[in-house]
Amino acid sequence: MIHFHNITKRYPGGHEALSNVTLNLEAGEMAFLTGHSGAGKSTLLKIISLIEKPTRGQAILNQINLNTLPITRIPYIRRNIGIIFQDHQLLFDRPVFDNVAMPLIIQGYARHEIAKRTRAALDKVGLLHKEKSMPITLSGGEQQRVGIARAVVHKPMLLLADEPTGNLDPVLSREIMQIFIDFHQVGVSVLVASHDLNLIEELQKPVVTLNKGKIIHNDLESLHE
Amino acid sequence: MSDNIHQHRPNIFHKISSWLLHHFQSLVFSLGKIYRSPSSTLMTIAVIGITLTLPSGFYLLLKNIQSISGDLRSSTQITLYLDMDLNTANAQKFNSELKNRPDIASTIFISRKQALKDFKNTSGFGKSLDHLESNPLPHAIIVQPPAGTDTLILKTLLSKLESLPQVDIAKLDTEWLEKLFTIIEIAKRTVIIISLLFSFAVLLIIGNTIRLDIQSRYQEIIVTKLIGATNAFIRRPFLYSGVWYGLFGGLLSWLIVELSLIALSGPISTLNLLYQSQYHLITFSFIDFIIIISASTLLGLAGSWLAVARHLNDIEPT
């Protein structure tokens, strides 16, 4: 799914966010990405989600070379990824249903198909009864679950989450992580960036640790051997 | 595995119908936005409408002036002052000869007696003219060429008539008409310049409105880009907003001009009565209406396109 080879990302001004990172996540695998803030977790996720381009190295996502991808193809590649943000990035001017349905509308699904899939996604995160609510009326945990529903509604092959439990209490955090594990169990590749080490340890999934732009620990490597 | 990338894509039929559906949704959505924030949108539409009122009003004014001057052109006449030695009977005979010519539509014979009487009445010299020993005025014939005769043919007719032995002087007074037509030409070009300037202003107004709209929906654009929206998809609602602004602005300007005409119709009919003229105020035809509406709609589309092209592609997630 993700095949990164010797990826280096240097931002204008000289700051090197990633140095020679090699990371392979096969289809259907799940891993946690950890490290202190500033270790390069976000940069790695940004390269995968085509927000940033690597300065050096080869980035291949689902056999597509991201280095040479024309800019007009980016939207179509992103449709195969579900992204979950720490701050949810919900649109507050429309109800929950419309927020979750957005990826389907963008991809041009038929109306009845949109309704069916949106309700299925909301049901999966336990918020079917909130479909008509405005996001502002929901709690932080509920908003995050709406964000997850939006990320999975079009059944992407890869789920990326950037600190999805950053603002949640331990009980809610565990619930959210459990949702990711559920998706992993039905064959979706999942990569979750988080610094909640206690929770990660508890979940017993492969962990990749970054420090100052370098990978210092990688459970996936031993798994692939 | 690369085939997998297409696995969730809807089929081509769905894509086309959903593409049409999204166009329709953008159309309705942008209209709904106008409905939801009526005050700011109405202000924009009012500005566009008032701005467009000037060129469309001037255009109508020009049409009216042209119709009046068209009437004047057909009233071009040649005045023949006959030889002083010609007696009344011969003069009248000459008049009826002229009448039968194919290059002359009609004539009016003015005898020297009649001419003197008219001159007494209109010149203000009145009784002092009674002291004249003899009538110094010749017989005159006013020749009306067929309607729509152009200037060149008029001039040949003039020299033909002048060469006739009965005619002393033939006079074609077109100089003032030519001056008038030049003034109308200047007015016409002024209207074109004004129209271009104000159209450009409308373009900028709409462009700026759409730019502000794009800025206020910055977050939404970022999010939709991140979940795989193409630029065309994001562009569409903004373009339709521009189309609506243009369309409603055009309708408003048409309405303003029509209402102004109603306000002007009273004094114009009084003026008609005073001049005993057959002049009718020309209003917008259906074609004019269509031209105004489609021009303003196109301006709306062009203005929003400029804004979108300049600002939308700059917004990328970071």
Q: Could B21 and A111 be called an inter-chain contact, meaning their C-beta atoms sit closer than 8 Å? A: yes
Residue B267's pLDDT is what?
A: 84
Same domain, B163 and B189: no
We report the CATH number of the domain holding residue B153 as 3.30.70.3040
Q: Say yes or no to pLDDT of A158 above 90.
A: yes
Token pair, residue A158, equals 């890869």
What is the reported pTM? Answer: 0.72
Q: Say yes or no to pLDDT of A192 above 60.
A: yes
Residue B270's pLDDT is what?
A: 83
CA neighbours within 13 Å on the CB side: how many for B156?
Answer: 6
Average pLDDT of chain A, as a whole number? 89
Domain end position, chosen among B173, B199, B229: B173
In whole angstroms, give the CA distance from residue A39 to residue A35: 6
Confidence of residue B75 (pLDDT cuts 50, 70, 90): low
pLDDT digits (tens, 9 = 90+) for A119-141: 999 998 889 999 999 999 998 88
DSSP string, B30-64: HHHHHHHSHHHHHHHHHHHHHHHHHHHHHHHHHHH
Same domain, B88 and B207: no
Domain end position, chosen among B147, B173, B199: B173
What integer is the mean pLDDT of A143-155? 91
Residue B120's pLDDT is what?
A: 79
From chain A, the residues in CB contact with B318 under 8 A are 51
Same domain, B168 and B298: no
Token pair, residue A198, equals 């206690």
Is domain A1-80+196-225 in CATH 3.40.50.300, yes or no?
yes
Q: Say yes or no to pLDDT of A72 above 80.
A: yes
Question: Percent of chain B scored above 70 by pLDDT?
Answer: 90
Residues on chain B bordering chain A, Cβ-to-Cβ distance under 8 angstroms: 1-2, 4-5, 8-10, 14-15, 17-19, 21-22, 25, 219-220, 222-231, 233, 316-318
What is the number of domains present in chain B?
2
Residue B316 lies in a domain: no
Question: Percent of chain B scored above 90 by pLDDT?
Answer: 21
Complex prediction ipTM: 0.88
Domain end position, chosen among B173, B202, B229: B173
Same domain, B205 and B288: yes
Q: Of residues B133 and A97, which shows the higher confidence score?
A: A97
Confidence of residue B113 (pLDDT cuts 50, 70, 90): confident
- The closest of B254, B236, B245, B259 to B308, measured between CA atoms, is B236
Q: Say yes or no to pLDDT of B4 above 60.
A: no
Same domain, B41 and B90: no
Same domain, B194 and B295: yes
Domain hosting residue B17, numbered range:
10-72+179-311
Mutate to test the interface with B, among A78, A98, A116, A155 (most CBs of B within 10 A): A78
Q: Say yes or no to pLDDT of B7 above 50.
A: no
Domain residue ranges of chain A, discontinuous segments joined by +? 1-80+196-225
